Amino acid sequence: MVQTIIMLENLPFPKNLQRVPEYAGTHHETLLGTGYPRQLGPEQLSIAARIMAIADIFEALTACDRPYKKAKPLSESLRILARLRDRGHIDADLFALFLSSGLHLRYGDRHLRPEQLDQVDIAEFLQPSTATATAN
């Protein structure tokens, strides 16, 4: 991962792609500073990097082309993301926007198998769980 970041930072990207190294290099970081490769905290993660983290996790959970795991249905994937939000790993406001915008459904319609498109009540996921909110 570190070598990929170094390589990307040294490529002559056109102006509209100059943030590619940032996006590629931070999509495994968390708001807790426990991600990799740099253990960056929230003050070091741009909005775009936070969006990429959510997108990367969602895509990894729902991907049906991974030989090492079975693709998860929409509801289970969102439940996992909600738990990550509740634990402070991903941005709560951006996760809410992801849900309320319907982006998860548009992505699902384009990229998921029909059996993954189960019913989801996003209201269940829009608020942090009361157990987690009380603990914080």
Instruction: Place 18 in a pLDDT band, splitting at 50, 70 and 90.
Output: very high
pLDDT given for residue 130 in this prediction: 59
Rounded to the nearest 10 degrees, the angle between the axes of helix 103-111 and helix 47-62 is 40
pTM to 2 decimal places: 0.86
Whether residue 2 contacts residue 21, with contact meaning beta carbons closer than 8 Å, is answered with no
Q: For domain 2-135, say whether CATH 1.10.3210.10 is its number.
A: yes
Q: Where are the domains of the chain?
A: 2-135
Closest Cα to residue 73, out of 124, 126, 128, 114?
114
pLDDT per residue as tens digits for the range 20-76: 998 888 888 999 999 888 899 999 999 999 999 999 999 999 999 999 999 999 999
